[in-house]
């Protein structure tokens, strides 16, 4: 059963083995909260057929067969990652970060929407700072 607090913010109940929660560093919590990003509104589901990312009000979804690669990466600058999702101006990748230490970097065959509400900006990759980045990378590798 979902708690009242989780239901109030629209959290979806976790499915065993599919849900990957974000790892929130203390220095990232307040900037994230200002944009509605909390442990209850930020997660990654790697289902049998689809990858779905929720990061506060932002969403990214793509079929698993659109994933070209998934690797562990890290060491991000706080100013470039804290708060809302960040768009890389060099390659249009999107970063959903709740810490600067370690993340799963996912590359797509076909770019996907995720950062803007018009869905016009397409991302060739996404960086996700989940609690177990190696586990998510292993799950997503083609």
Per residue in 76-89, pLDDT (tens digit) is 999 899 999 999 98
Q: How confident is the model at residue 17 (pLDDT cuts 50, 70, 90)?
A: low
Percent of the chain beyond pLDDT 70?
88
- Once rounded to an integer, what is the mean pLDDT over residues 46-64? 96
pTM of the model: 0.86
CB 105 within 8 A of CB 71: yes
Q: What's the rounded Cα separation, in Å, for the pair 22 and 19?
A: 10
CA neighbours within 13 Å on the CB side: how many for 58?
29
Q: What's the rounded Cα separation, in Å, for the pair 99 and 49?
A: 28
State the pLDDT at residue 121.
Answer: 95
State the pLDDT at residue 1.
Answer: 34
- Any residues with CB less than 8 A from the CB of 18 and at least 6 apart, and which? 45, 46, 47
CB 134 within 8 A of CB 105: no
State the pLDDT at residue 75.
Answer: 94
CB 52 within 8 A of CB 44: yes
């Amino acid at each position: 059963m979902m708690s009242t607090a989780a239901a109030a913010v629209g959290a979806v109940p976790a499915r065993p083995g599919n849900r990957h929660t974000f790892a929130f560093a203390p220095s990232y919590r307040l900037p994230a909260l200002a944009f509605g990003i909390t442990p209850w509104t930020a997660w990654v589901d790697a289902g049998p057929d689809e990858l779905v990312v929720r990061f506060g009000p932002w969403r990214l979804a793509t079929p698993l067969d659109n994933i070209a690669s998934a690797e562990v990466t890290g060491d991000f600058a706080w100013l470039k990652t804290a708060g809302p999702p960040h768009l890389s101006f060099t390659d249009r990748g999107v970063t959903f970060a709740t810490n600067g230490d370690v993340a799963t970097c996912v590359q797509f065959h076909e770019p996907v929407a995720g950062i803007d509400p018009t869905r016009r900006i397409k991302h060739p990759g996404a960086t996700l700072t989940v609690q177990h980045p190696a586990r998510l990378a292993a799950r997503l590798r083609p």
